[in-house]
Amino acid sequence: MINLLLFPILLPFFFAIILMFFPKKRFTQRIITIVGLLSTLIAATILLITVKTNGIQAITLGSWPAPFGISMVSDMLSVLLVLSSTLITLIVVWYSFTSIGKAREENFYYPGVLFMLTGVNGAFTTGDIFNMFVFFEVLLMASYLLIVLGGEKVQLRESIKYILVNIISSALFVVTVAYLYSVVGTLNMADISVKISQLGQPGIITVIAVLFLIVFGLKGAIFPLYFWLPSTYAAPPIPVLALFGALLTKVGVYAIMRTYTLFFTLDQSFTHELLMIISILTIIAGCIGALAYFDVKKIIIYNIIIAVGVILFGASQMNEASLMGSIFYLIHDILIKGALFLLIGVIIAITGTSNLKKMGGLIKYYPMLGWTYLVAAFGLAGIPPLSGFVGKLLIIQGGFEAGNLWGGIVILASSLVVLLSVMRIFIYAFWGEPVEITPLTKRHYRGLFTPAVILVGISVLYGAGSEWLVPYMSDAADVMLNPSQYIQAVLGGA
Amino acid sequence: MKTNDVILQTATKIIFFIIFLFSIHIFFAGHYTPGGGFVGGLLTASGIVLLLLAFDLKTVMTSLPINYTVMTAIGLLLALATAAGSIVFNVPFFTHAFDYFELPLLGKQSLHTAMLFDTGVYLVVVGVTMTIIQTIGADD
């Protein structure tokens, strides 16, 4: 089945189209969405097994020979990301059943989510730089819908900011692709890689590398370009926030990792040094934000920025340990950010506020919620048996191996800040004097809490079973370290 | 105050069909000459917009009772189905098929599955344009 790698893109697309026929039938919509996501999950799992046993899967659409048609490439990194994105979407959709509300469900909420997943999976799978732009637009258009759907005042204000920033960065993306095309004359990513190594990365390619860093940095929120993210992400309802927080910035991070390991490998003393400095600044900026706020949403949102910094620091080191750590941490972060947003969504639903100072004593009424949150918080900070540990350990090991002592130390220190910031939520919301709350009905609470707890469970398994995951991660890191495998899979023996 | 726009309306009744036929022509010509699904769709939509200018929203909605959201969805489905047809034959996605046929009246013509894909594009473009215009127009 040579088209297998396209199924995680086509299935959500197909089901999203089906959903457009009857927007008002809420229950049919829910059932079809779940069916669609489950089948996508199955397809992604089969794809993972295929990639593991048979190596990188590549196909060039329309039966054209490789550099001329659009290539789709599924290596271990992309298939792992596709699988975890689909998983997170499935759980967030389940959570949405209770939390998103009738009005949004009847106005294309589920098609929006599925179209976004189409874009995300497509951006992870594509092997063509302009096609990547198109998939970026697919996911961004869907995210514009999701961020503004509901039409509250704050959503309208923030969606203007969000759309403006993304239009500018997309225009810059086009310009950058145009520069690259004018230098190398091809859009196929494997072919670009070959052409750049033939050229020996002259100065103009380094300029393009920096432009790509700016473009993907705007999407993925790195240090000077993250300014739009905190207030924008705080606007939409919790399930949308969870999707955005778990997936959207990760697409930008993936794109940086892909371009910096596949294209721009010859002038590392400049490009990767720059990436490293920026990632460390990103971590510091995120840490400051995470400590500065008393708003639970803002605290977790700044933790996204910290994670972006940590992953990119790993990617900038370019040795096996750090790249493997980056991939470990990337998947961990998708899972744990989703889980944390869903959990604080439950807290906000119970207390009716996102202000920490107005909360207290929740552990008395909701002990399970409290302990689940604590596990998720420890997972985020990277306490050993949990999911954040292995990734960060490998990233720091990679940093030390590459001789960047200070970078490693900043990451270690940032873990403390992360722990402090999420523990503050635990201390303020769950301990202390109980405040007036409006208890949720049992059914409502269960509808919100069950998906969140399952996601935390998955992230715990991910941490506990990391030994079992190592072969997958090392396969993924291997392709990034040796782009020749990728090129060979796309272009054949050439 | 309702102005007498009999000239506009009479002219529209004729011009609409010219625009519509031209858009269909452009749509079919796309494979060999400039044109295709996108411009064809935009031209059809502009014909309907002319109707909207000459008459009011309600009249046009009753004479053309089309749910444009569904039209968009059908277009997407058609495009996806055309591209996905290749999956059945186990060739790479988007592989098109093409052959010459003797058609009654038209004679020897080439039929290409890319045309079906273009029909999908056409429907999506008309659907989206009209959804935008109708939604803004119906908004007070």
- The Cα A435–Cα A170 span in angstroms is 46
Q: Nearest CB to B70: which of A21, A62, A63?
A: A21
Q: Which of A31, A15, A46 is nearest to A93 (CA)?
A: A31
Asked if residue A72 lies in contact with residue A5, where contact means CB atoms within 8 angstroms, the answer is yes
Interval B14-51: pLDDT, tens:
999 999 999 999 998 888 899 889 999 999 999 999 99
Instruction: Return the bridge partners of B110, or none.
Output: B100
Residue A361 has pLDDT above 90, yes or no: no
Radius of gyration of chain B measured on its C-alpha atoms: 18
Does any domain span residue B1? no
Which of the four pLDDT bands, split at 50, 70 and 90, describes residue B1?
low
- The Cα A217–Cα A255 span in angstroms is 9
Q: What Å distances lie between residue A17 and A13, A94, B77, CA to CA?
A: 6, 20, 7
Spatial neighbors of B18 by CB under 8 A, at least 6 apart, are none
In a mutagenesis test of the B interface, which of A2, A7, A17, A131 is the best target, namely the one with the most B β-carbons within 10 Å?
Answer: A17
Residue B140 has pLDDT above 80, yes or no: no
Higher pLDDT, A238 or A494: A238
Enumerate the domain spans of chain A. 4-491
What b/e sequence results for A289-301 when a residue is b if at least 16 CB atoms lie within 10 Å of its CB, and e otherwise? Answer: bbeebebbbbbbb
A1 at B interface, C-beta within 8 A? yes
* Torsion B73-A167-A156-A93 (CA) sign: positive
Interval B72-115: pLDDT, tens:
999 999 999 998 888 888 888 888 888 788 888 777 877 888 88
Backbone φ, ψ for residue A314 (5° rounding): -60, -45
> SS3 for B105?
coil
pLDDT value for B103: 80
Residue B2 has pLDDT above 70, yes or no: no
Q: Which of A328, A170, A163, A341 is nearest to A243 (CA)?
A: A341
Q: Which of B84, B97, B95, B76 is nearest to A6 (CA)?
A: B84
Query: Is A20 in contact with B69 (Cβ distance < 8 A)?
Result: yes
Q: What Å distances lie between residue A58 and A33, A83, A209, B90, CA to CA?
A: 28, 17, 25, 14
State how many domains chain B has: 1
Q: What Å distances lie between residue A160 and A222, A233, A301, B17, B56, CA to CA?
A: 20, 12, 19, 40, 32
Residue B137 parent element (H or E)? helix B113-138
DSSP character at residue B33: S
A65 at B interface, C-beta within 8 A? no
Percent of chain A scoring above 90 in pLDDT: 71
Interval A384-397: pLDDT, tens:
888 889 999 999 99
| Mean pLDDT across chain A | 91
Q: Nearest CB to B92: which of A3, A20, A21?
A: A3
Concatenating the DSSP letter of every residue in B120-131 gives HHHHHHHHHHHH
- The Cα A245–Cα A89 span in angstroms is 12
Asked if residue A60 lies in contact with residue A310, where contact means CB atoms within 8 angstroms, the answer is no
Which of the four pLDDT bands, split at 50, 70 and 90, describes residue A494?
very low
pLDDT value for B90: 84
Residue B48 parent element (H or E)? helix B37-54
Higher pLDDT, A440 or A409: A409
| Closest-CA residue of chain B to A65 | B92
Backbone φ, ψ for residue A342 (5° rounding): -65, -40
ipTM of the complex: 0.92
Interval A176-206: pLDDT, tens:
999 999 999 999 999 999 999 998 888 999 9
Asked if residue A189 lies in contact with residue A60, where contact means CB atoms within 8 angstroms, the answer is no
Does any domain span residue B127? yes
Q: Nearest CB to B73: which of A17, A60, A63?
A: A17
The domain of B104 spans: 6-137
| pTM assigned to the model | 0.94
A6 Cα to chain B: minimum distance (Å) = 8
Q: Nearest CB to A61: which of B69, B70, B93?
A: B93
> SS3 for B23?
helix
Query: Is A3 in contact with B87 (Cβ distance < 8 A)?
Result: yes
* Torsion A431-A304-A410-A481 (CA) sign: positive
SS (H, E, C) chain A: CCCHHHHHHHHHHHHHHHHCCCCCCHHHHHHHHHHHHHHHHHHHHHHHHHHHHHCCEEEEHHHCCCCCCCEEEECHHHHHHHHHHHHHHHHHHHHHHHHCCHHHHCCCHHHHHHHHHHHHHHHHHECEHHHHHHHHHHHHHHHHHHHHCCCCHHHHHHHHHHHHHHHHHHHHHHHHHHHHHHHHCCCEHHHHHHHHHHHCCCHHHHHHHHHHHHHHHHHHCCHHHCCCHHHHHCCCCHHHHHHHHHHHHHHHHHHHHHHHHHCCCCCHHHHHHHHHHHHHHHHHHHHHHHHHCCEHHHHHHHHHHHHHHHHHHHHHHCCHHHHHHHHHHHHHHHHHHHHHHHHHHHHHHHHCCCEHHHCCCHHHHCHHHHHHHHHHHHHHHCCCCCCHHHHHHHHHHHHHHCCCHHHHHHHHHHHHHHHHHHHHHHHHHHCCCCCCCCCCCHHHHHHHHHHHHHHHHHHHHHHHCHHHHHHHHHHHHHHHHCHHHHHHHHHCCC
Asked if residue B25 lies in contact with residue B18, where contact means CB atoms within 8 angstroms, the answer is no
Chain B residues near residue A114 by CB distance under 8 angstroms = none
Interval A142-155: pLDDT, tens:
999 999 998 899 99
- The Cα A191–Cα A65 span in angstroms is 12
Note the maximum CA span of chain B.
Answer: 64
In a mutagenesis test of the A interface, which of B93, B95, B123, B139 is the best target, namely the one with the most A β-carbons within 10 Å?
Answer: B93
Does any domain span residue B99? yes
Interval A458-475: pLDDT, tens:
999 999 888 899 999 998
- Residues A294-322: what's their mean pLDDT? 92
pLDDT value for A259: 92
Chain A (195-224) residues lying within 8 Å, Cβ to Cβ, of chain B: none
